[in-house]
Amino acid sequence: GDRAIEDVADDYYKELMDRNLLQAVPDYFEDWGCRMHDVVRELALYVSQHKHLYHQDASTARHRHLTIVGEVASTVLEINKKNECLRALLLSKNPSIKSIPSDFFGKVRCLRVLDLTYTGIESLTDSVGCLVHLRFLNVSFTELDELPESIQNLRNLQTLKANGCKFLHRLPKGLVRLHKLTHLSIADTQLDKMPIGLEELKSLHTLYGFVANDENQGDNNMKELWNLTQLRRLTMHKLEAVADKAQAEEAGLKNKSDLKYLRLSCTRKTNRNQLEDPEIQKIEEVFEGLLPPS
């Protein structure tokens, strides 16, 4: 049908919760965190064992889904360098991993999922562009200061997350060529501006970390949001850079009927007294111009 895949997934998730196959973790927003009962987990591992979803022996190079924990990371990566079966590689929470071998991605071209969160990676090799089947890339909370331009080759990428990358100051220009991108999450970074042409990402449902351009960075980029009619979740930052209410209205938020979550913010001031009354009034008017449908 015409339903978004996220809506179908939400229905399945709620049904699993209703049947107590998943249990809510109250620490998460609106119960969207969960845990699996030990008995259910054991059953899931048993049913999926033929797919090598989980294995105690890291010496084999036939895993399809591989999670690496601890100091063996570099060894396991070397073993799996020619693993054509590999579809998901999860390296999360391995601060000892500082880099990925430059020839690694070229030999695991069928990879669909790559999670590098909380690793010590400082740069991502250009060869990541070889992963033309990649659907999900998460580099959140790493030491990256930029993403390679070759990322524009990931034409099947649907989710890109780079939250909490404190050294990330810019996004690659070619990002706007990822026309299948549905979720772009770049919150809590040091981004100076957004790439020109963001309006081309018409499939976006989630955009966390949108940065407003100031007048010294060229044209107002509020209007780039106008064509993103499928947005459901949006956070916007540095809104003190928006000139006035009319400029804010160019984002067209009042026309985005699917928008469910919106957060607006300005650059934090250490002292509220640093803001003059006219500036406060302007920001209030800008926020009014960004009101979604009631």
Q: 210 forms bridges with which residues in the sheet?
A: 236
**Closest residue by Cα to residue 288 from 254, 257, 260:** 254
Burial class of 160 by CB neighbour count within 10 A (0 to 12, 13 to 18, 19+): buried
CB of 185 closer than 8 Å to CB of 234: no
Number of Cβ within 10 Å of residue 218's Cβ equals 10
* Low-confidence residues in the chain, pLDDT < 70: 1-2, 27-32, 50-62, 69-76, 78-81, 215-218, 269-274
Alpha helix positions (H), 252-291: 277-289
Nearest CA to 57 out of 46, 72, 37 is that of 72
Quick one: pLDDT at residue 152? 97
Q: Rounded to a whole number, what is the distance in angstroms from the first to the last CA of the chain?
A: 27
Residue 5 identity (one-letter amino acid): I
Q: Report the pLDDT value the prediction gives residue 56, as an integer from 0 to 100.
A: 46
Question: pLDDT tens digits, residue range 265-281?
Answer: 998 764 556 677 888 89
Q: Which domains does the chain have, with CATH numbers?
A: 1-51 (no CATH), 65-289 (3.80.10.10)
Beta strands in 99-256 (DSSP E): 113-115, 136-138, 159-161, 183-185, 206-211, 233-237
Instruction: Measure the CA–CA gap between 217 and 239, rounded to whole angstroms.
Output: 14
Q: What pLDDT sits at residue 61?
A: 59
* Beta strands in the chain, from DSSP E residues, in sequence order: 22-24, 34-36, 65-67, 88-90, 113-115, 136-138, 159-161, 183-185, 206-211, 233-237, 261-264
Cα–Cα dist 59/223, whole Å: 52
Contact criterion met (CB below 8 Å) for 74 and 94: no
DSSP characters for 216-253?
GGSS--GGGGTT-TT--EEEEE-GGGS--HHHHHTT-G
Give the span between the Cα atoms of 133 and 86, in whole angstroms.
12
pLDDT at 33: 77
